[in-house]
Amino acid sequence: MKPTRPFHQTPVITIDGPTASGKGTVAALVAAHLGFHLLDSGALYRLAALASVRYDVAPDAADELAKLVGDLHITFREGLAQLDGVDVSTEIRAEAVGNRASAIAVHAPVRAALVARQRAFRKEPGLVADGRDMGTVIFPDAALKVFLTASVEARAARRYKQLIQKGFSANMDDLLRDLRERDERDSMRAAAPLKPAADAKLLDTSALTIDQAVEQVVQWYRALQPRA
């Protein structure tokens, strides 16, 4: 199979999809398998959401949120997310923070403020970027674009397991409702709505194991590489 586009000097694999589709885990394992860097764009939005709570910025104050995002001191070190030098890796995974992140992500000024930060993760030997608009907005020239999805029931079950394992309380009915609301909000927003890129490969993970999903993405990427 021949590549559909010339490889960028630094290749990027984008993995987009709705909440709890498995994209974060798949992206991390694909990056580890290929020895690539990893961008968890959702963590950036969750950090912005947490900061908006800490600094008392309303989720509908688009311009104020954008300024806050531009001024944030955010670092990722050894798998940990830090805000102003403090590890908040567990705190940003709370469901309330995720819901607020989805709410502030609808604002075009907020998304614009995070574009440069996300693109700066593109470094040799390559990058795997997961999120909701990685293939459509942030890295439109990516070597491989994947859109992961799964049934809302499968995603709710995964999210429930994740939250319980991390020590958070969870209710399945609440998760189903929240996922449906977030799906609608993410897909209907005017700024970079959640949708597959026109040239993305679709991967439904409802009945797949993580290893099977990772294997498929790696196979797709390997198939795009020029033969020696």
Across the chain, which distance is largest between two alpha carbons, in Å?
A: 56
In this structure, are residues 189 and 102 in contact, taking their beta carbons and an 8 Å threshold?
Answer: no
Q: Which domains does the chain have, with CATH numbers?
A: 12-221 (3.40.50.300)
> Among 3, 16, 11, 6, which residue's Cα sits nearest to residue 36?
11
Tell me: is residue 22 an annotated ligand-binding position: yes
Dihedral angle at the C-alpha atoms of 133, 139, 141, 143, nearest 10 degrees?
-90
Tell me: is residue 23 an annotated ligand-binding position: yes
Tell me: is residue 126 an annotated ligand-binding position: no
pTM of the model: 0.81
Tell me: is residue 42 an annotated ligand-binding position: no
Tell me: is residue 20 an annotated ligand-binding position: yes
Token match 């589709």: residue? 21
Tell me: is residue 79 an annotated ligand-binding position: no
What is the separation, in whole angstroms, between the first and last Cα of the chain? 13
Q: In whole angstroms, what is the distance from residue 212 CA to residue 154 CA?
A: 16
The tens place of each residue's pLDDT in the chain, 228 residues long, gives: 334 444 447 999 999 999 888 898 899 999 999 999 999 898 899 999 999 999 999 999 999 999 998 888 888 776 688 898 899 998 998 889 988 998 998 898 998 999 988 998 999 999 999 998 999 999 999 999 999 999 999 999 988 988 888 888 889 999 999 999 988 888 887 777 888 999 999 999 998 999 999 999 999 999 998 764
Tell me: is residue 24 an annotated ligand-binding position: yes
Give phi and psi for 74, each to the nearest 5. -115, 135
Token output for 56 = 């008392």
In this structure, are residues 158 and 212 in contact, taking their beta carbons and an 8 Å threshold?
Answer: no
